[in-house]
Amino acid sequence: MFNKLKVLLLRWFYRWVNRRAWRKVDMSAVSTRDFELAGVVPVRQYRVENAQRVIIYIHGGGWVIGDLESHDPFCRQLAQKNQAMVIALDYRLAPEHRFPAAVEDCVAATRWIIKHRAELLQADSKVFLAGDSAGGNLAAVVANTLATELPDQLAGQILIYPAVRHYTPPTASHIENGKGYGLTYGLMVWFWDNYLGEKRVTENGDIDRLATPLTQPLPEGVAPALVLTASLDPLRDEGAEYAQKLSGHGVDCSHQLYIGEMHGFVCSEGLTDAHQQAMDLISGWIQSLSGHSPASV
């Protein structure tokens, strides 16, 4: 009963904090539409005039507390800044739906969007995949899963302070930034335990590699990646290590560390200077891979 109440409270609080951060930002130029992909995965479509590309967005929140509402302002900003149609995925949350439910939803939705891009925008539209925190984890898993099934169909993956490894053993940043900087190490332990549940280990006693991209073997043809990390984030080190893993595997990967920033600075703090810098970096990177200039905001 206590865990259920904690889940409900944190979901409400996370949504409130994110909406509050963006309350004074006018994003009325973006139109939205809610629907279900193939009648299975709820999504929210964000569209601006003359959209040139598709960005599939997977929200963060530890696989437990995020939703379409918590990331609605950020997705509007993402669409405006990149002259894009953004499609945000409302995957099933833990603990009601534990791993691999979220993975299954995100893989199925991404597969559908790639195959139906002509109906959504146009047949030659480039499709990018992005996500923050737990959403960064899922974006990485989806990119790896579809690399061989749909080669060259993802133009790139944007991983914003991704959670790509389990909390055991703790990294240096887990210890250094485990308290006092918003996201705590204890909260990440709670998120992981709610997400994995009884499926947290394989028959050999290992963490399931599908849940932890840092330990998952990389296939050939993984999409180019942009990885953003923050110096005061418990997830700093694993994000940097994953960027190194991608580069070592021959993936075109760029990594940017933001000094003095905490977990959530891109999506949950509104139009701060660091957010603007990150968005400029994302837009420039997308432009370099798509050949079209993003809109200025």
In the residue annotation, 133 being an active-site residue is answered as yes
Distance CA 167, CA 191 (A): 10
143-155 b/e (C-beta count within 10 Å ≥ 16 → b) = bbbbbeeeeebbb
Distance CA 285, CA 158 (A): 9
Phi, psi of 229, deg, nearest 5: -135, 165
Distance CA 19, CA 24 (A): 10
In the residue annotation, 263 being an active-site residue is answered as yes
Active-site position among 67, 72, 105, 233: 233
Q: Which value, in Å, is the radius of gyration of the alpha carbons in the chain?
A: 18
CB-based contacts of 168, cutoff 8 Å, min separation 6: none
290 with 208: CB under 8 angstroms?
no
Is 258 in a helix, a strand, or coil? strand
243 with 255: CB under 8 angstroms?
yes
The order of strands in the sheet holding 53-58 is 31-37, 41-47, 84-89, 53-58, 126-132, 156-160, 225-230, 253-258
In the residue annotation, 255 being an active-site residue is answered as no
Active-site position among 70, 263, 268, 290: 263
Active-site position among 70, 133, 283, 290: 133
Instruction: List residues with catalytic annotation.
Output: 133, 233, 263
